[in-house]
Amino acid sequence: MSDLAQTADGRVTATSVTSPPIWYQGLVASVFWLLTAAVTWGLPDVIPWGSAGLFAAITAAGGIALLTLGLTRYRLGGLGDRIAVWGPWLIALGVWFLLWEFTTAKTGWLPKPFFSPPHGLLQVYVADWSRLLVCIGYSLRLWGLGFFSGISLGFVIGVALGWSHRFNYWGMPILKLIGPVPATAWIPATFFFFPTTFHASIFLVALSCGIPVAIQTAAGVSQVNRAYYDVARTLGANERFLVLKVAVPASLNHVFVGLFMGLYYSFAVLVVAEMLGAKYGLGWYIAFQSAYSAYANVYATIVIMAVLCSGIVKLLFVARDRLLLWQERGLI
Amino acid sequence: MSVLAATDGTTRALSLDIRSVSHHYDIAGTRFDVLDDISLSVAPGEFVALLGPSGCGKSTLLRLAAGLEAPRRGVLLEDGDQIVTPDPSRLLVFQDPTLFPWRTVRKNIATGLEARGLLPQKAHRIDEALSLVRLEDFADAYPRQLSGGMAQRVALARALVNDPGLLLLDEPFGKLDSLTRLSLQNELLKLWQTTGFTALLVTHDVEEALLLANRVVVLSDRPARILAEFNIVADYPRHRDDPDFIRLRREILHELGVQNV
């Protein structure tokens, strides 16, 4: 800011020496966060939601932290720089909380039960955290079992389809025929064929992510530059080496395309499967709560899902960047 | 420079016998004859250059010698044994380095040893091969980080670390800039002199053939037949302004149908 206020002829202006630099975005954000706290605490709820005090305390703490950051950001070095990137977002978040709080709990313009103020969601976490934790555990277990068995099988099938002509001859038409069918279409049949709905749900999640992985892997393996095989064969590679050390790494890029597609499908199928036949789980929780018009609980669960799913997506990105390091652009 | 030959002593130059080999491809129902009754004997330790116009079938001959394909007629023999499959004793270096982009330089060079399960015993050979092609500092680089000349040196090291008795070179310097090509030609010559493998080089560069080979075999346009053979007796290193060099160059170009140069 003003520490850089140097005129063209080299004279440093007087203010740059005396006033410490201030991060104005942080100050603006802190104003909105503190305003949110004041509105939440000061104005009464039209219909009581609970946890208003807690939300006010959280936003007030956030406001104070932002105020401190506004004054110290330039003394924090790299950490300060990293926080400052989010300045506009922190302001927007403050404005959003303020409007949200005001239009729902404080004025009732957006009425209960279809709308919930932020502290309404907070109240859900405070009151129902143990059941939500159980549901998260159940969902992760179902998703994990389905996703990892699905992608493992899909990957193996994909390699076989891409590698073996005979397997491709019989397998590819079947895969092309059933591949585009949404996994959810199988729900009635699977609930009949599997001993429990849990097993059926695992199968559906596995199916949803296994098919794109199989298709992409097969495409990747069959598109590998034949020259790599020639080189490896002259160097003494057997078939096992050609598959595992040439075909698979050469097609890993395609495999990850399939994994990302499969990941998104698996989330969709997970929630639907839980809504239909599970005893616990986030999908079940949403279906259960919306039956009682408890929309605050539904929104609160959607927030959890958003965090979980985007976290898993992020993990897959990290794994991909690690495994495909060799593709990175640019010189050393 | 002689590390490869000195430490192991397993390099044993192989002879290559090509007997009445003819070959054709069927592409979309049309028959393309590429080789027409080729017979050629390469003695152990000899450096033979196959010279011919582009697309005449030279590369096909190397693929047959490598064992990647079987000839339609005739046989190829390695030390008297028929060549039916690829074998690390006969290694092919392509015009494209064809390095595995997902492997570092070190792991590319290690490919042959790894594929044959020799890595535990012969891991030290990789460092020797790296220093042989002067790429010690790039051992952990990925192929995308290398220049064309460096990549081709890695390809050479990847072949030589297996102690091939016969090195098949398919226009290995064809895509390099002229300065890099000159320095790599010199390196190849040194490697051949110190390691002692038999070399069969396919090229359409007359000077390259004359600088490197003991014998230059001139092939016709497709389907390739042997038009002429020239024994080159001059000592190494050879010079382009040598009168014999110029005379041979003119004669070979004449055989190839290029005149007044």
pLDDT in tens, A204-241: 999 999 999 999 999 999 999 999 999 999 999 999 99
Contact A231 B67 (CB under 8 A): no
**What is the reported pLDDT for A4?**
47
| Residue B218 near residue B256, CB atoms below 8 Å | yes
Cα dihedral sign, A89-A95-A97-A99: negative
Q: What are the chain B neighbours of A332 within 8 Å (beta carbons)?
A: 141, 145
Distance of alpha carbon A306 from alpha carbon A321, whole angstroms: 22
Our CA angle for A268, A270, A273, nearest 5°, is 110
CA B90 and chain centroid, separation: 10
Q: A241: which residues sit within 8 A by CB, 6+ positions away?
A: A232, B114, B115
Q: What are the chain A neighbours of B86 within 8 Å (beta carbons)?
A: 233-234, 236
- 3 state DSSP class of B224: strand
Using one digit for the tens of pLDDT, what is the confidence trace for A173-188?
Answer: 999 999 899 888 988 8
pLDDT at A6 over 80: no
Q: B167: which residues sit within 8 A by CB, 6+ positions away?
A: B91, B93, B159, B160, B192, B197, B198, B199, B200
Q: What are the chain A neighbours of B69 within 8 Å (beta carbons)?
A: none
Q: Closest partner residue to A228 among B68, B86, B100, by Cβ?
A: B100
Single-letter code of the amino acid located at B77: L
Share of chain A above pLDDT 90, in %: 71
How far off is chain A from B145, nearest CA to CA, in Å? 5
**Which H or E run includes A207?**
helix A197-222
Using one digit for the tens of pLDDT, what is the confidence trace for A186-205?
Answer: 888 888 899 888 899 999 99
CB-side neighbour CA atoms (13 Å) of A252: 18
pLDDT at A25 over 70: yes
CB-side neighbour CA atoms (13 Å) of A37: 16
pLDDT at A46 over 50: yes
Q: Name which of B52, B66, B86 is nearest B171 in CA terms.
A: B52
Q: Closest partner residue to B115 among A235, A249, A329, by Cβ?
A: A235
Q: What are the chain A neighbours of B152 within 8 Å (beta carbons)?
A: none
Task: Choose, out of A229, A234, A241, A246, the residue to mutate when testing the contact with B (most B CBs < 10 Å).
Answer: A234
CATH 1.10.3720.10 intervals, chain A: 127-322
**What is the reported pLDDT for B4?**
44
How far off is chain A from B112, nearest CA to CA, in Å? 5
pLDDT at A38 over 90: yes
Distance of alpha carbon B150 from alpha carbon B135, whole angstroms: 8
- Which residue does chain B place closest to A233, by CA atoms? B86
pLDDT at A163 over 90: yes
Residue in the structure block whose two tokens are 């017979």: B39
- Which residue does chain A place closest to B68, by CA atoms? A230
Dihedrals φ, ψ of A125, to 5°?
A: -65, -40
Write the DSSP string, B90-153.
EEEE-SS----TTS-HHHHHHHHHHHTT-HHHHTHHHHHHHHHTT-GGGTT--GGGS-HHHHHH
Q: What are the chain B neighbours of A245 within 8 Å (beta carbons)?
A: 111, 114-115
pLDDT at A309 over 80: yes
**What is the reported pLDDT for A2?**
43
User: Distances from the Cα of B22 to the Cαs of A13, B40, B72, B74, B212, in angstroms?
Assistant: 88, 12, 6, 6, 27
**Which H or E run includes A168?**
helix A165-178
**What is the reported pLDDT for A20?**
67
pLDDT at A136 over 50: yes
A14 at the B interface (CB within 8 A)? no
Distance of alpha carbon A127 from alpha carbon A123, whole angstroms: 6
A241 at the B interface (CB within 8 A)? yes
Task: Choose, out of B83, B102, B122, the residue to mutate when testing the contact with A (most A CBs < 10 Å).
Answer: B102
Show the tokens assigned to B41: 């004997």
Contacts by A300-309, CB closer than 8 A, 24 or more apart:
A300/A121, A300/A124, A300/A125, A300/A132, A301/A132, A301/A135, A303/A121, A304/A132, A304/A136, A305/A267, A305/A271, A308/A136, A308/A139, A308/A140, A308/A282, A309/A267
Burial class of A21 by CB neighbour count within 10 A (0 to 12, 13 to 18, 19+): middle
How far the first Cα of chain A sits from its last, in Å, is: 35
CA A219 and chain centroid, separation: 27
Single-letter code of the amino acid located at B106: R
Asked: is B3-101+164-254 a CATH 3.40.50.1220 domain? The reply is no
**Which H or E run includes B41?**
strand B30-42
Contact B114 A331 (CB under 8 A): no
DSSP state of A28: H
**What is the reported pLDDT for A18?**
54
Contact B102 A250 (CB under 8 A): yes
**What is the reported pLDDT for B260?**
60
Q: Which fold has domain A127-322?
A: MetI-like fold (1.10.3720)
pLDDT < 50 regions, chain B: 1-9
Contact A231 B101 (CB under 8 A): no
Residue in the structure block whose two tokens are 């969902």: A139
pLDDT tier at A332, thresholds 50, 70, 90: very low
**What is the reported pLDDT for B11?**
66
pLDDT at A12 over 60: no
DSSP state of A35: H
- 3 state DSSP class of B229: strand
How large is the ipTM?
0.85
**What is the reported pLDDT for A221?**
94
pLDDT at A266 over 90: yes
Contact B102 A235 (CB under 8 A): no
Q: What are the chain B neighbours of A327 within 8 Å (beta carbons)?
A: 101, 144
Q: B174: which residues sit within 8 A by CB, 6+ positions away?
A: B95, B203, B204, B205
Contact B101 A246 (CB under 8 A): no
- 3 state DSSP class of B15: coil
Q: What are the chain A neighbours of B94 within 8 Å (beta carbons)?
A: 227, 230-231
**What is the reported pLDDT for B7?**
43
| Residue A305 near residue A285, CB atoms below 8 Å | no
Contact A236 B115 (CB under 8 A): yes
